[in-house]
């Protein structure tokens, strides 16, 4: 096995390495990046739908001089049942990096175990580390050091919430999550983060979570793969909508954040999403630079 690093979780990078990624992302944002992927190929596997992640990775690899290749289950032997471990070894023989969006987190872990090249998690049911790293980069651009600041999460304890918990441990901000009972974040992610010193609190009252926060985050009430639960979840999450009244509880210069796609009138009102405190477009834009920096970092190891 060749030595290589994967990025399956924010915990795969040390706090110092995250700062390195942020400063290189800043450079990528300032000017066209160096052609560090010349002659290299990156395969992008999407077992779930994507707009932002797919296009930002595809464009980012091209901007660095590399060749991106998108693979979907329908268009490959993956959809006809070829074992993942076989696919992993074949792709690693052709490509220099594998980016994968899938369902169970064990699938990216299996890919990383069998592929002899860096594997990047482009979203699993458990985590969405590329998104949250880009979100934290976006916040540091506005507030500089996040240590000791308060960030709020309102809604489902999903893949995004779990990654925010990991980010809280790495970057030292306080995280308050307001989730309905029964929709808490992953217990193992939470307890491991608390052991690493994360200041994370789960509450039931959105106003309590938002109070004094510099950023109020939310996400869809039913994630990809939970489409059958969308109807029943609407009732459960009704009181967890991010409204202007909730934003008014946050710090005076607080921002609204959402990984997108958003469901206006469900998890967030139109006025908040389109309001002056919303940084959702900036977040999406920064995916490009932060992911470029992650690929560059992993291929340098
Ligand atoms: N936020 C995000 O990952 O968007 P896509 O599903 O469009 O990639
Ligand atoms: N929690 C959402 C995020 C989409 C980018 C999902 O997994 O569908």
What H or E segment, with its residue span, contains residue 60? helix 52-63
Ligand 2 atom closest to residue 53's alpha carbon, by position in its atom list: 5
Average pLDDT in the 107-136 region?
98
pLDDT in tens, 23-69: 999 999 999 999 999 999 999 999 999 999 999 999 999 999 999 99
pLDDT band at 3 (very low <50, low <70, confident <90, very high): confident
Q: What is the pLDDT of residues 225-262, one digit of tens each?
A: 999 999 999 999 999 999 999 999 999 999 999 999 99
As annotated, the active-site residues are: 101, 128, 131, 219, 259, 287
Of all residues in the chain, the percent with pLDDT exceeding 90 is: 99
User: Which residue's CA is the nearest one to ligand 2's atom 1?
Assistant: 223
Give residue 296's pLDDT band: very low, low, confident or very high (50, 70, 90): very high
Assign 1 a pLDDT band (cuts: 50, 70, 90). low
Chain centroid to CA 48: 15
Judged against a pLDDT cut of 90, whether residue 182 lies above it is answered with yes
If DSSP codes are grouped into helix, strand and coil, which group holds residue 199? strand
Class of domain 129-283: alpha beta
pTM above 0.75, yes or no: yes
Spell out which residues line ligand 2, taking CB within 6 angstroms.
Answer: 123, 128, 158-160, 219-220, 223-224, 259
CATH number of 10-128+287-299: 3.40.50.1370
If you average pLDDT over every residue of the chain, what do you get? 97
User: Would you state the pLDDT for residue 10?
Assistant: 98
Q: Which residue CA neighbors atom 6 of ligand 1 most closely? A: 50
Cβ atoms within 10 A of the Cβ of 137, count? Answer: 23
Domain boundaries for CATH 3.40.50.1370 within the chain: 10-128+287-299, 129-283
Nearest CA among 109, 122, 219 for reference residue 164: 219
Tell whether ligand 1 has an atom less than 6 A from the beta carbon of residue 131. Answer: yes
DSSP 96: S
Nearest ligand (C-alpha, residue 105): 2
Which H or E run includes 70? strand 67-71
């Amino acid at each position: 096995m060749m030595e290589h690093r994967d990025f399956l979780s924010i915990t795969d990078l040390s706090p110092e390495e995250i700062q390195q990624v942020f400063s290189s992302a800043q450079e990528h944002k300032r000017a066209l990046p160096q052609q560090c992927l010349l002659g290299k190929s990156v395969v992008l596997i999407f077992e779930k739908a994507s707009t932002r992640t797919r296009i930002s990775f595809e464009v980012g690899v091209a901007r660095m001089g590399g060749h991106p290749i998108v693979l979907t289950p329908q268009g490959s032997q993956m959809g006809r049942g070829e074992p993942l471990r076989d696919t992993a070894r074949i792709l690693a023989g052709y490509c220099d990096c594998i980016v994968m969006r899938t369902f169970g987190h064990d699938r990216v872990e299996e890919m990383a175990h069998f592929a002899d090249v860096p594997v990047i998690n482009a979203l699993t049911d458990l985590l969405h580390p590329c998104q949250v790293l880009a979100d934290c980069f976006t916040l540091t651009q506005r507030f500089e050091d996040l240590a000791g600041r308060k960030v709020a999460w309102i809604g489902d304890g999903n893949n995004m919430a779990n990654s925010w918990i990991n980010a809280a441990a790495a970057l030292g901000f306080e995280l308050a999550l307001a989730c309905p009972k029964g929709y808490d974040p992953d217990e193992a992610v939470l307890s491991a983060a608390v052991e690493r010193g994360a200041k994370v609190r789960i509450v039931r009252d959105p106003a309590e979570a938002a109070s004094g926060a510099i950023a109020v985050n939310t996400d869809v009430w039913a994630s990809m793969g939970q489409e059958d639960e969308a109807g029943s979840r609407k009732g459960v999450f009704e009181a967890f909508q991010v409204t202007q009244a909730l934003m008014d509880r946050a710090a005076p210069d607080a921002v609204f954040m959402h990984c997108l796609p958003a469901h206006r009138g469900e998890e967030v009102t139109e006025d908040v999403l389109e309001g002056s405190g919303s940084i959702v477009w900036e977040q999406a834009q920064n995916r490009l630079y932060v992911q470029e920096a992650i690929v560059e970092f992993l291929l340098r190891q």
